[in-house]
Every structure is written in structure tokens, then in C-alpha cells.
A and B are shown apart, each in its own frame.
Chain A
Amino acid sequence: MWFEDAVFWILAVVAIAGSVGVVLVRDLFRASLLLSLVFIAVGGFFILMNAEFLAVVQVLIYVGAIAVLFIFAVMLTRDVQRGNTPNRLQVPAAFIATLLLVMMVATVVTTDWTTLAGAGLENKSRVAQIQAVGIPDAARLTAAGLTADEVTDVQTGGLADLLIGEFVLPFEAVSLLLLAAAIGGLALARGRGR
């Protein structure tokens, strides 16, 4: 457990420091690189939370696509020299953000969470999640202490099954959204009359 905790804290420091950097660094190119760092740290968090598939997606999409897009955008616009200056809303924004943070932390601390560990389900859930993104091996699931019914459930209940099963409607909607975004991005970038 100490290993996980150590990794968590390192990732936390990296993510927070990176975020602060993204916001405060004047050079937008460096900000983009720091953003990639934060994305990678978040991917690390996903691995820590047994969401390996998401971690892969995170690195592929965020680091591989979005961060690169940002770098392109930064390099294609000529404001790089002027940099990332603050606007007049700096003080109220800082005030609101700080207050919101205080409130959220207070909420997190004061809420009485019903965790899996508290309910004695820690182990089962972890196995389920590992299997959800991997190959549902019945032997491994049984070894993890799941009953026969639960094994079947987990085997058929992977993330992919959920996406094209229970969540198929939002899934299709998202595909449409992506299509619209692609067309819209094209239209915007192409400009008028050209």
C-alpha cells in the first residue's frame, strides 16, 4: 500500500504544480507542455484507480491529440510573444475560485461517504474493474472470491458492453456530436468565402 500512496502523492504534486504552471506561465508553448504533463499525471491517477483502459485513452487522446493541437494553435497564432497575460477579472476570479475550493473541500470532508471498503466490497469491486478492461477470465474471477453468478455478470459487464448496451443512446449521440464537431471545425477553420 505504501507504494500506491507514494505514487499518488507524487502524481498529486505533479498534477497540481503542472496546473498552476499552465495557468500562470507566460509562455504559452511552455504552458502547453505543462498541460501535457498534467494529462499524463491524470492518466497515472486512472491507473491507480484500476481504470487502465481510461488511462490509455487519456494518454492517446489528451496527450497525443489535444496537447498537440494546442501546440499547433499556439504556434499558428502570433500572440506567443505577448504571452498569457491576466485580464481585469483576476481578483474576482481568484476570490471565487478560492471560495469554491474551500467549499468543495469542506463538502468532501464533511460528507459521510459510503465506500466500498466500508461495505466490505473492496476486493470484489477491484477484481471486477480489472476484468472490465481486460479479458474476463472465469478462473481468475473465481479465485478473487466471486460467486458463479457474479462471474457471469462481470464477464458480460465490461466497459465496451456498457457503451454499446445500456449507454448506447448517449454513445450514438456522442458519435453525432463528434461528426458535428468535425464539420464545424472544418467550417470555422476554412473561413468565409474561401
Chain B
Amino acid sequence: MLTEPLVWAIFLLPVASFLIIGLVLRPAISAVPALAKASGYLTIIALGIGFALSIWLLRSSAHGVIYAFPPHLWLDLGPASVQMGLLLDPLTNIMLVVVTGVSLMVQIYSLAYMDGDRSFARYYAYMSLFSASMIGLVLASNIVQMYVFWELVGLSSYLLIGFWHDRPAAAAAAKKAFIITRIGDVGFLLAIIFLFFQADTFAARGLNAFHIPDIWEAARPIAAGGAGIVAGGALLWLCLGLFAGAVGKSGQFPLHTWLPDAMEGPTPVSALIHAATMVAAGVFLVGRFFPVFAESEVAMMVVALIGAFTAVFAATMALAANDIKRVMAYSTVSQLGYMMAALGVGAYNAALFHLFTHAFFKALLFLGAGSVNHAAGTFNMMYMGGLRKSMPWTYGLTLVGALSLVGIFPLAGFWSKDEILLESWLAGGAAPVAIVVFFALLVGVLLTAFYSFRMIHLTFHGEFRGGGERELHDVAAAGQPAPTGVTHHVHLGESPRVMVAPMFLLGISAVIAGWLANPIGVGMLFGLIPSHWLTEYLASGLHDGHHAPPFSIAMAVISNVVALAGIGLAVLVYAWPRAFTSLDPLTRGGVVHTLLAQRYYFDDLYEGLIVNRIFYRITVAATDWIDRNVVDGIVGLLGWISRNIGGLIALAQNGQVQTYPLAAATGGLVILILYLILG
């Protein structure tokens, strides 16, 4: 039985680690360099304990222990007091395991990856801060508390993307990520403000407008036994506000442009933050307020369509990316689209199941990319190739991750993706939108398979094409600045064990994580986990729990056939030397390839058109004009008035003593006259 302090410890240990590293270790490092390593171990110990506690929490919760700790008052705002509390429902428990687990693996991996970086301690301080914020976000029982951690997560993401802040590209990417996610956060904030203005209505029913379970209650119609405070248009806008925050954080269309750029950060950061946990916060947010979304048909439709569109849209961009981390980034955006789409069609547990499995295999893929970079000195796949011979472990694990991502039976990705497809197909009976979603996601499966194996082939097969050394040479010859993460340091060989070991653990997870929810009850064979365990557990957290549909062999066959078709196509295009001669035959795609490689020109649209043209030319020009003419004019006018009044007064201050008593006498005279007239 866990006590409240133990649950808080999951959150407070990384906080303590952050504070100790930041305030105690870092200032001392210049004197004792050995302390840098200590900061890494400190973070790992803090997260290790947190992971153990999370497992304990999940285990006891799964055995039917219900944890409910009363929240603590933070700010008393009259009817809507802001509280600090723990919301330990199944969603939180699962997320805790994902966050602490993946985080732990990544921190261990970073020990080797970041070895020798002069800001080693700073890296671990930020990582601790991030882990603490993410855990705080997951634990929050209050929407304001959640928002605080939401922004803290954004802050640590900013700090970590710009970790190598002496690189202009990294600094720019950090700013871009921060600003674009902020656009979405405005929606979140507006939703909170809306709730604040409803506080009296909430309080009249004995609810707290900021307490998350109370918000669920408020959105439930009276007919269903809820409070029915928020309904209709207001409910829709509340949902859209929250969804805007999720879109920004999860890199959904149209706020997706920051996520590929965020790969400027260290690779473990990309793995942890921009693949496994933080970007999933958007999905988590929608999942957290799923009972609210579920009451608004239009909001659900928006979520489903945005998700499905992003799933395909991002996957197409992954086809033309040459940077291995960017491929991963688009893949992440695409997979987050799957989760959103699943939420949109009402498949709450399938979406979160996919979040769960995705965290493991995507983190694995990123760590694989980092491992490849460690050897080849570059992230550009055009300069890789043939690495399977020199780094067999990385190859094998990345292949497992890719197969899991594609959704090949019986890997983790298969179970979750299959469930999403099945649910959207079944939901299509009631809502035509779901059918659109289903086919979009099916196309997404094909594209995912293709780009995954394009990546595998370009990286690990064929002949080695020179790595970072060659790239630097080519870039220098073309007269361009060197891209980030490229070094002359090329040594073909397996990465150190401390990097491979976490990858191995994640690889195991990427294989077996799906069995937590295996719909066919294979897990029963081991006598450990009943079938549909995860989805049922998640559903138990909802008021009217949605139950997973029975396994459909037809659907499994369809999705696997589509996935295999994608893999086959990729093999045909890349691995069959006689078919095409160039390295990447897709470059012959002409306009389409250019469109994809230029990321549909969205960056140009945002930065070139909206920011430079509209914002700078029009908004800034207008404000500049106002500043120059109106504001400066007022200031100038004030100056002119005071100057002239001053001149006028200076006329009187002429130093002639007798003018002063003359003025005084005049004043006295006026008073006397007024006295005679008025009084």
C-alpha cells in the first residue's frame, strides 16, 4: 500500500536531483571535475526509484487498490480554489511507468552518449527538470497545476533543444519550438480561463472548476447522471481550446513544423522528449479530458480528422527526408496522428495503448539513430550505408523497432495499431468520418512501412558512403556551413555497452509491450496477464468504460498485408540494384519529391509568408507606423507642449524681482474681485 509521500516522491526525487545538480554540483564542477559524472548517477538514481515506485503503483492499482488522496489547497480564489493534488487513475499510472521507464533508459544511455560534453552536468540538470515536470503533469489533479507543469515541460524542451546553444540552428530550433507550441497553449489557457468564469456555476453544484474529475462531471449531461454544466457550443470551444494545446505539444497539423527542427537537440533528448514522452503529452491531455471530448461530437470529429490527416501528411514527408532523425521525427508526428485519430473515433484505450507501445519502440529507434551517429559521425543517411556489418546489435535492435513501428505481428506496434484500425473501422458503422479515418490510417501504414525500410536500407545496407568526414568534405566543397551533429570522428564499430544495454531493454519492451493488451489471450499462456489487460485497465478509469472489441483476424491480416506491401515496395525500390541505379530513386519523383522534401513548403509559409510578409511587412509595419507617428507624435507633442509652457513660464521667471510681487498683487486683486462678485 503506497502512501501519499511515496507518490509525491516520484515527482520530488527528480526535482531534488535538479536542484542538487543545479545548485550544488554544477558550481563545484570546476573544482572537482569528477562531480560531472555524479550528476548523471544522481539523476539515474532518482529516476530509478521513481520507476520502481511507479511499477509498484501500477501493480497495486491493477490489483484493485484505489488511491485517492485529498488535494492540498494552493491558491484560494473564492469559488474555484486551485489545489495541488494527485489524480491516480489508470491513465496516470500507465503514463508514470512510461515516463519514468523510458526516461531511465535514456538517462543511462546518455551517460555514454554525452560523455565528454563540457556541459554534462547542465544536461542532467535539464533532464531531471524535464522528468520532474513530465511526472508532475501526469500526476496533476488540477487543471491549473497541470498547466504549470505543461509549460515547465515546454520550457525544459526549449532548454534541451537549444542545449548546444552556441549552434545557431539549435538556438533557432529551440525558439521555433517554444513559440509554435505557445500558439497552441493559448487555446489551453483560454480553456482554463473559460472554466474560471464558470467557477460560480460549478460551485453551485459543489464542484471545483479546476478539479479535473469535476470537469468530467460537469461535461456529462444530466440525462447521464452528470452535472451538465458545460454543453453545446461552450463545450465545443472548451474542447477545441484544450485540443489546440494538444496540437501544439504533439506536433499535429498545422503546428507540426517545430518537431522536425527539434532534432537539433542531443539525440537522447529527441528520444525522450520529442518521441516518447513530451510530445505524447498532447495525446495525454486529450486522453485526460476524454470524458469531456466524448460529449461533443464535433470536437471528436475535429480530433479524428486532424489526427488522421497528420498521420498521412507527416508520413509522406518522411519519405523524402535524408536526415535519419528527421525521418524519426516525421514518423513520430505521424504516430501521434494515429493516437489523436483513435481518440477522435472514441478508441480511448487503443490510443493510449499505442502511446504506451510507441514510447518504447520510438525511443528505441532514436537511440539507434544516436548509436549510428556515434559510429558514422553524421545523421545524413546519404553518407551512411553498410553499417549492419560493423554494428550488428544496433542493426538488429533498430530493425526490431522499425518492425514494431510498422506493426508487424507479433511485435508491440502491431497490437496497438491493429486495435486503432479495428476500432476506427467499427466506429465507421455509426460515423462516416471514422471510415475516412480508417482508410487514411491504412494508407499511413503503407507509408510507414515504406519510409521505415527506406531508412533501414539507406543506413544499414549497401556500401558505406563515408560518414561525417565525407559529408563535411562535400559540404565544404559546396561552400555551405557544416550541419549540426556532423563530425570528422568516424569509427565504424559497435557503440559502448552502456548505450546498447538500454536499447536492448527497450527492444525487449518493443517486442513484449503489446502483450499487455494482447487481444487473443496469448498472455494467458504465461499465466501472468489476462487478455485485454491494459485496455480493460484503462477503461476502468472512465465512467462508462469503453471495452476493447474482440480480436479480428481479418483486420490483422489486412494491416499486415498492407505493411508487408510497404516493406516489399521499399525493398524493391532500394535493395534491388537492377531496378534503379541512383542511391535514392525517389529523387526522380520530380515535383512531388520536391514538394515532400520541402515539407510542403509549410516552413516557408509560416516563416516566409506569415512571419516575414504578413507579420513583419504588415503588422510590424503598422505598429512601426503607429509607433513613429502616433506614439512618437504624442511624445513629441508632450515635449512641444512642455517646452512651450516652459518658455511661457520662463517669461515670468525673468529674474526681475518686481515682476513677482506684481504677479502676487494681481492674484490678490483677482481674489478680491472674485470675493466681491461671488461672496
Contacts and interface: CB of A to CB of B under 8 A. Distances in A.
A169 B443 CA distance: 104
A97 B658 CA distance: 14
B430 interface: no
B631 interface: no
B659 interface: yes
Contacts of B668: 100
Contacts of B672: 100, 103-104, 107
A89 B660 CA distance: 11
B666 interface: yes
Interface string A69-92: 000000000000000000101001
B75 interface: no
Closest 6 pairs (CB-CB, A-B): A103-B672, A96-B665, A100-B669, A89-B658, A96-B666, A99-B669
Given A99-B669, A100-B668, A100-B669, A93 B676 contact: no
A92 B656 CA distance: 14
Contacts, number: 28
A104 B671 CA distance: 12
Interface in B648-679: 656, 658-659, 662, 665-666, 668-669, 672-673, 676
A106 B669 contact: no
Contacts of B666: 96
Contacts of A107: 672, 676
Interface of B: 656, 658-659, 662, 665-666, 668-669, 672-673, 676
A24 to B, nearest CB: 17
Contacts of B656: 87, 89
A43 B672 CA distance: 29
Contacts of B673: 103
A92 B668 CA distance: 15
B669 A96 contact: yes
Interface of A: 87, 89, 92-93, 96-97, 99-100, 103-104, 106-107, 110
A89 B659 contact: yes
Nearest to B671: A103
Contacts of B669: 96, 99-100, 103
Nearest to A103: B672
A105 to B, nearest CB: 11
A116 B18 CA distance: 93
A165 B512 CA distance: 108
A99 B665 CA distance: 10
Contacts of A99: 669
Contacts of A87: 656, 658
A92 B676 contact: no
24 contacts: A89-B656, A89-B658, A89-B659, A89-B662, A92-B662, A93-B658, A96-B662, A96-B665, A96-B666, A96-B669, A99-B669, A100-B665, A100-B668, A100-B669, A100-B672, A103-B669, A103-B672, A103-B673, A103-B676, A104-B672, A106-B676, A107-B672, A107-B676, A110-B676
Contacts of A97: 665
A58 B672 CA distance: 30
Nearest to A97: B665
Given A89-B658, A103-B669, 18 more contacts: A87-B656, A89-B656, A89-B659, A89-B662, A93-B662, A96-B662, A96-B665, A96-B666, A96-B669, A99-B669, A100-B665, A100-B668, A100-B669, A103-B673, A104-B672, A106-B676, A107-B676, A110-B676
A47 B207 CA distance: 93
A71 to B, nearest CB: 23
A31 to B, nearest CB: 17
A152 B93 CA distance: 103
A96 B665 CA distance: 7
Nearest to A96: B665
A43 B367 CA distance: 113
A101 to B, nearest CB: 10
Contacts of A96: 662, 665-666, 669
A89 B652 CA distance: 13
B119 to A, nearest CB: 69
A191 to B, nearest CB: 21
A151 B651 CA distance: 61
A110 B673 CA distance: 13
